Amino acid sequence: MAEVFNIQEYMTRGVERVVADAVRATLKNPKESAYMAKFALASKSASKKRVRMEAEGEHIPPFLIASITSSCNLHCAGCYSRCNNATEDVEPVDQLSDDDWNRVFEEADDLGVSFILLAGGEPLLRKGVIEAAGKKPSILFPIFTNGTYMTEKYFDEFDRCRNLIPIMSIEGEKEATDNRRGEGVYDKLISNMDELKNRGIIFGASVTVTTDNIKEVSSERFINMLSEKGCKAVIFVEFVPVTEDSEYLAPEEDDREYLKAEIMRLRKEHEEMVFVSFPGDEKSSGGCIAAGRGFFHINSHGGAEPCPFSPYSDINVKETSLRDAMKSKLFLSLQKEGVLLDDHKGGCVLYEKRGQVEELLNA
């Protein structure tokens, strides 16, 4: 009889590894290492809470992704958020308020959620939400930012609230970054890194991995540059096509195996840094971890979605609790029907099987 995969144990081990890596990566930085040591204790407590609730029949994922705004000042080539119309160049209407997000963060804290990834649009456009997150030290908030709004007020905020971790999007070296994000963006990112390093603030880089840049962004030259700038975390995000004409950029099985091997190498050779891959190796995690298995996504209007690449929702946190949103009919159907475990080409199973997702949503 085949062994049943235990997602809670798998995710708990993953959280513990990331936290241990983060503690090690900040050992030479007293202010950061003091916070990370406290967070490690809080994370263990949260893990015990999730395990206890799991034993009582209620699954709580350790991660959330929160897109706190639909506004952005950049027009990056191939942006999934713009292609899905989640980010637009109009004044946002009916987005969650600062108070709404604060309530979500409080509920997440009570339930034992350890990480909330803040995204957008451009999340630094919502200073009130960032300030609310800073007041929840038992949750780590990686902030996925394009870096262009990082000014003195934010450097001060990150210095004061060490649970706020800026994760700046970079596509490789100058040419690759400016080609995708706009002229001058690379130089701004490097300037930000220098300021963060001078202040002793931990930060990371988010790299969208495509068939064009996979060799460059995993190279010693690029990783050494980030390390020398003081970067302590690199998050590799596999490009997910949301239009047919960009499908050639999506990493395939061979590319994913290459990236997996490179990450294993980098973890050994760069112990001063944390390396994470998303969506990562679904084979080792028993399938896709979205739709509440390991995380889910809350869009800027409060809709609870399986993940940012699967913008379908049947429940809104404006109208219900976070706890009830985790039991969304759509999430439970995706888990029960086995869509998350389906074979697929690679990348995002929910994007590839979007027809099935829509059927379950409308069932």
Cis peptide before 137 (omega within 30 of 0): no
Cα–Cα distance measured from residue 285 to residue 304, given in angstroms and rounded to the nearest whole number:
22
Please report, for the chain, the start and end positions of each structural domain, with discontinuous segments joined by +: 7-49+59-362
Specify the range with the lowest mean pLDDT, choosing from 10-19, 47-56, 293-302: 10-19
The answer on pLDDT for 192 being more than 80 is yes
The first and second tokens of residue 206, run together, are 């988010």
Give me the mean pLDDT over the 8-13 stretch. Answer: 73
Give me the mean pLDDT over the 217-231 stretch. Answer: 96
Cα–Cα distance measured from residue 282 to residue 75, given in angstroms and rounded to the nearest whole number:
30
Domain made up of 7-49+59-362: CATH architecture: Alpha-Beta Barrel (3.20)
Cα–Cα distance measured from residue 90 to residue 257, given in angstroms and rounded to the nearest whole number:
40
The reported pTM is 0.90
Which tens digits make up the pLDDT trace of 305-352? 998 888 899 999 999 999 999 999 999 888 887 777 765 555 577 777
The answer on pLDDT for 78 being more than 60 is no
Which residues are bridge partners to 142 per DSSP? 165
Question: CA-CA distances (angstroms) from residue 216 to 174, 263, 275?
Answer: 11, 13, 16
Q: In what order do the strands lie in the sheet with 115-119?
A: 274-278, 233-238, 204-209, 164-169, 141-145, 115-119, 63-67, 297-298, 304-305
Specify the range with the lowest mean pLDDT, choosing from 87-91, 132-136, 151-155: 87-91
Q: What is the pLDDT of residue 25?
A: 81
- Spell out the long-range contacts of 182-191 with Cβ–Cβ below 8 A and sequence spacing 24 or more: 182/74, 182/75, 182/76, 185/74, 185/146, 185/147, 185/148, 188/147, 188/148, 188/150, 189/147, 190/229
Give the strand pairing for 115-119 and 274-278. Answer: unpaired
Helix, strand and coil percent figures for the chain, each rounded to 5: 45, 15, 40
Question: CA-CA distances (angstroms) from residue 9 to 2, 46, 50, 87, 106?
Answer: 17, 13, 10, 35, 24
**Structure letter (DSSP) for residue 115:** E
Q: What is the pLDDT of residue 87?
A: 52
Neighbours of 334 (CB within 10 A): 28
Q: What is the pLDDT of residue 284?
A: 57
Q: What is the pLDDT of residue 353?
A: 78
Highest mean pLDDT pick, 65-74, 152-161, 241-250, 254-263: 152-161
